[in-house]
A and B are shown apart, each in its own frame.
Chain A
Amino acid sequence: DAKTTQPNSMESNEEEPVHLPCNHSTISGTDYIHWYRQLPSQGPEYVIHGLTSNVNNRMASLAIAEDRKSSTLILHRATLRDAAVYYCILYNFGNEKLTFGTGTRLTIIP
C-alpha cells in the first residue's frame, strides 16, 4: 500500500488559518486522498477527500499538488474545537479498506 508522511505535531493560533501537509510520493493514479481527524477519546471523523482537483467543503479545503505527491489540508480559521489528530490516508483502488498512520497532532493556542 502507498504510504503517507505527516509531521508529528503542529501548533496554530486561534482564528488563524492552518495548513497541514502530507507527503505521498508513491501514490498511484487511482489512489484517492482522504483526511480524517480524531478528537480525544472519540472515533475519527471524516473531513474531506479528493483525487486530483482541489476540494472545498464546510469543514476544510484540500489542496492537491499537480504531481499528486503531496497535499495540504487547510483549516481557514482555526478554533479550539479543531484541536485533534489529523490523518492523511490513501484509499487504494480495489481495496475495501483504509489504513491509518500516526497523523499530525494539531494544538490550537488561544
Chain B
Amino acid sequence: SQTIHQWPATLVQPVGSPLSLECTVEGTSNPNLYWYRQAAGRGLQLLFYSVGIGQISSEVPQNLSASRPQDRQFILSSKKLLLSDSGFYLCAWSFVTFNEKLFFGSGTQLSVL
C-alpha cells in the first residue's frame, strides 16, 4: 500500500530565515506530487505540482520554491521567510492517470514570527 510522509508537523521560524519542508511517498512509482497551503480559516491554495523528476509547475508567484530531486521526494523551500508565509502546508500525491484522487499528508503548521 502507498503512504505519504510529511515533516515536521509544526515549525516556528523567524522572519528572514530559510525553510525546507520535505515530503516522501512510498509504495508507488512516478506519482504526481503537489504542495498546497492553507491560511487560517481559508481554503487550500495550490502552490506547486510536479509530474516527474525535475518537472515543477508553479501556480502562484511567491518567495517559495519547490524541487523534486528524486521520484518520490518533494521539497518546499524558501531562502527568506515572510510573515505572510505562515499557514498549514500540505503535500499530496496522485497516480499518474487521468482523474485520479489526491492523497494528502498530515501537514506542517508553519508559524513565521
Contact = CB atoms under 8 A, between A and B. Distances in A.
A46 B44 contact: no
Contact of B43 (A32, A45, A100): A100
B46 A97 contact: yes
Interface of B: 32, 34, 36, 42-46, 49, 51, 57, 59, 88, 90, 92, 98-99, 101-107, 109
A44 to B, nearest CB: 5
A80 B78 CA distance: 39
A19 interface: no
A42 B43 CA distance: 13
Interface in A54-110: 87, 91, 93, 96-103
Nearest to B59: A97
22 contacts: A34-B101, A41-B109, A42-B106, A42-B107, A43-B92, A43-B104, A43-B105, A43-B106, A43-B107, A44-B90, A44-B104, A45-B104, A49-B99, A93-B98, A96-B32, A96-B51, A97-B34, A97-B46, A98-B46, A98-B102, A100-B44, A102-B42
Given A32-B99, A42-B106, A99-B46, 8 more contacts: A41-B109, A43-B92, A43-B106, A46-B101, A46-B103, A100-B36, A100-B46, A101-B43
Contacts of A44: 44, 90, 102, 104
Nearest to A97: B49
Contacts of B34: 97
Contacts of B44: 44, 87, 100
A98 B99 CA distance: 10
Nearest to B96: A96
Given A41-B107, A45-B104, A49-B99, A102 B51 contact: no
A45 B105 CA distance: 10
B51 A46 contact: no
A67 B92 CA distance: 31
Q: Which residue, of B34, B51, B102, B103, has the highest number of chain A Cβ atoms within 10 A?
A: B102
